[in-house]
Amino acid sequence: MEEKERQAENVTERTVPPVTGRDMWRVARPILGAFAVCLFFVVLYAVLTDKAAAFDDPVRHFLYSLQSDALTIPTVILTHMSNWIFMVGVCIVLLLIPRTRFRFGVPLSAGALATVALNHLIKSLVERPRPEVAQLVEESYHSFPSGHSTNSMFFYGMSIWLVWHYVQSPALRTVLTVALAIPMLLIGPTRVYLGVHYPTDVVAGWCIGFVAILVIAEIICRRERRTQSL
C-alpha cells in the first residue's frame, strides 16, 4: 500500500509542471485589471461629485511650488514624449522594420489608437475644465482624463511588457525597462506641474492605459497559445 502511494506521489511530481512567471502573470492579470477599473470609477465619482479637490489641491500646489526655469525645460521635453505626433512616429518606424513589425509595431499601434479614441470619448462626456492656473504649455480641450498620462502608461508600459515577453538578454531587458519606466512614471506628474491637468486626471489616465496593457497582453498570449496548439 505504501509503495503504491509513493509511486502515485512520484507520478504527481513528474506530471505537475513548475509555476512560471507567465503563470503568475496570467493569474494576476484579471485582479490587477479589476483594481484599475474600480480605481477609475472611484476617481470619476469624485470628479463628478466635486469631491476630488481633497486629493487634487495638495498634490498640484506642491508641484506648482517646484516650478522653475531650469526644471520647466526638461519637463516640457518629457511631456512631449507622449503626444500623438511622437507616438505615431515611433509606431511608423516599428511597423516599417520587419523584425519589430508584428511583435512591437502592431500591438503598440492598435492599443494606442484604441486608448486615444476612448480618452477622447470620455473627455467629451465628462467635460471637466482645465485648472484655472497659468499654463506653461497651451492646452484647450477638456481635462479629464489626461490623454498624455493615458498614452504614456500604455505606450511605455506596453513596451516594457513586450520587452520582457520577447527580449532574451537579461541585461538588455533591464536597461530597456529602466529607460521606458522613466517616461511612463514621470509624464503624468509633468502634466500637473505644467498646469494643464489635475492629479485625478492623471490617475484616471493611468488606469485606462494600464487596462489597455492588460487587454493587449491577453490578446497576444491567447494568440500564441492558439498557435502553439495547432
pLDDT along the chain (230 residues), means of 10: 54 57 73 93 95 94 92 91 88 92 92 93 93 85 92 94 91 94 94 94 96 93 76
Backbone torsion region of residue 132, taken as left when φ is above 0, otherwise alpha when ψ lies between -120 and 50, otherwise beta = beta
Residue 5: the pLDDT is 53
Q: What pLDDT, on a 0 to 100 scale, did the predictor assign at position 202?
A: 96
pLDDT reported for residue 66 = 92
Secondary structure of 43-84 in HEC code, one letter for each residue? HHHHHHCCCCHHHHHHHHHHHHHCCCHHHHHHHHHHHHHHCH
Q: What is the pLDDT of residue 1?
A: 52
How far apart CA 43 and CA 149 sit, in angstroms, is 15
Q: Give the 3-state secondary structure percentages of the chain, helix then strand then coil, rounded to 5.
A: 80, 0, 20
Cα of first residue to Cα of last residue in the chain, in angstroms, is 42
pLDDT of amino acid 10: 55
